[in-house]
Amino acid sequence: MYDQGPGAVALAAGGHHSLSLSPTQIVLTVVICALSALLVNMAVAVFHDGVRPFMLDYRQGRMKRREIATIAFSLSSGFIFGLGAPMAFSTGVLNPWLLFLPTDILGLLAPRRWLAPVLGAAWALLVIFGLAGATDAAQALPVDFLTAMQALSDPVMYLFAFFPAVAIAYQFGKARGGIAFAVEGLIMLATAYFWKSLFPGALAMAVGMAMLVAFAVRRDVVNRRTARAEAAARGEELPVVDTSAADSLFGENARRLRKYLPWLLLLGGLTGALCATGVFAGGEATSYIVQKGDMGNAAQIDFYRTFGFIPLIGLTSLASGVYATNGMNFVYAAGYIAAPNLLVGGVAGVVVFGVEVLALSQLGRLFAKVPSMQDASDHIRNAINQVLEIAVLFGSILAGMHMGGGVGVALVGGLYVLNEAMGRPVMRLAAAPCAVILVGIMLNLASWAHLFTPIKIAG
């Protein structure tokens, strides 16, 4: 049920969400980390979108392995320790920032091919047993900051639904953005009132994405019609959109990815199976929804957010000849829907990756013809980041209040503001969760020194 009670969050549901995996989940996690590190070493797939463009230089010998690894670490460390680890701590659900970003780095660092999967497997074991031990230890402390961190769930899940309206405002103006927000808000209210068993944000997000696509397609149609009218007035014919340049640029790299299709199909199958076990989620909001076992709504949310990444992942894959470890992100939704059947999840992951890789060439031609959708992708990603920054900040302030009342709010908020004033040594998205963990440690030390009385979190 998605009742609107305050803190429907897991705080009221109480519970400690320890990272405890079954033998099957452990094996799947170890194998997928080993395989992802190997494919990075082979320059077949890499998770970080910012690293992928450099892989062409690496493949062609213009950059050395360690140079790429240094770039990968500098781009990824904030996400690993500031987002991936805290999210796994607070939900008990693994995520790609915690698994795939480190395997990017380890795969690039490995001087021998056989060493890459060994390092990837070792990282998986460290995550599984290290985080489980750290979680149990943290929950035994006087101030249980991990349970308090579950306060992030409601702000992240519900605010995330409005990223389409924010993207529309950026791309198509304030008026359309305001209309989209009003429509999404009304749908969310109606869903919460009439269909209490559904997650209110899912349908609102779907309608918002449909409006964004409609606005983008309409803009291209209008631009095309205007160009045709202007050409007719000059007595000219409107030239046909030329995709030969895209075919020439991307054709060889698309063929290279098809050559490695069996490896990518295996990766997709393992990812789909791991999602089907309920211990792995591909998104910030879906980590909290998978935690609740609501796979249907998790599938909807990750399906919609995928459209913001298709152009980025597709074009960087075609330009570099290196695919994404998580594909176009559709594999997450496929795995959730298959839960709890691992075999179905694995088959779904294989099918999804197969379709994606084989369709890459057609995707390149499509983006050459529909420029507004490519622009929309940039606005969607920016909107997602902006909404998540606000949602995570709100949730972290709530976590501070659960840990230490007004003092907790002041300390968490103060650390966040201090990070801003110091030029953001910790990236904004990770700053607030890191502040919660740091404040949790501070309050525990104060409790042991008899300077602070822990606040009991109502269960």
What are the C-alpha distances in Å from 431 to residues 276, 391, 413?
31, 12, 10
> What number is the average pLDDT over the span 178-182?
96
Residue 328 belongs to a domain = yes
> What number is the average pLDDT over the span 10-36?
76
Residue 3 belongs to a domain = no
- Whole-number pLDDT of residue 231: 73
Question: d(Cα 352, Cα 273) in Å, to the nearest integer?
Answer: 12
Confidence band, pLDDT 50/70/90 cuts, at residue 246 = low
Question: d(Cα 185, Cα 172) in Å, to the nearest integer?
Answer: 19
Confidence check: pLDDT of 27 > 90: yes
Contact between 334 and 300 (Cβ < 8 Å): no
Q: Where are the alpha helices (DSSP H) in 260-294?
A: 261-276, 284-291
Q: Which two tokens stand for residue 134?
A: 């750290």
Picking from 46, 57, 44, 42, the residue whose alpha carbon sits closest to that of residue 104 is 46
Q: Which two tokens stand for residue 9?
A: 């969050």
Confidence band, pLDDT 50/70/90 cuts, at residue 240 = low
Question: d(Cα 199, Cα 37) in Å, to the nearest integer?
Answer: 36
Confidence check: pLDDT of 3 > 70: no
Range of the domain at 431: 21-161+243-448
Contact between 459 and 12 (Cβ < 8 Å): yes
Residue 175 belongs to a domain = no
Average pLDDT of the chain to the nearest whole number: 85
> What number is the average pLDDT over the span 323-330?
93
Residue 168 belongs to a domain = no
Question: d(Cα 354, Cα 222) in Å, to the nearest integer?
Answer: 35
DSSP state of 341: -
Q: Using N-to-C axis directions, what is the helix angle for 96-109 and 65-79, rounded to 10°?
A: 160
Residue 320 belongs to a domain = yes
Residue 188 belongs to a domain = no
- Whole-number pLDDT of residue 18: 57
Residue 8 belongs to a domain = no
The number of domains in the chain is 1
Picking from 17, 145, 31, 15, the residue whose alpha carbon sits closest to that of residue 88 is 17
Q: Where is pLDDT greater, at 158 or 459? A: 158
Confidence check: pLDDT of 34 > 80: yes
Residue 412 belongs to a domain = yes
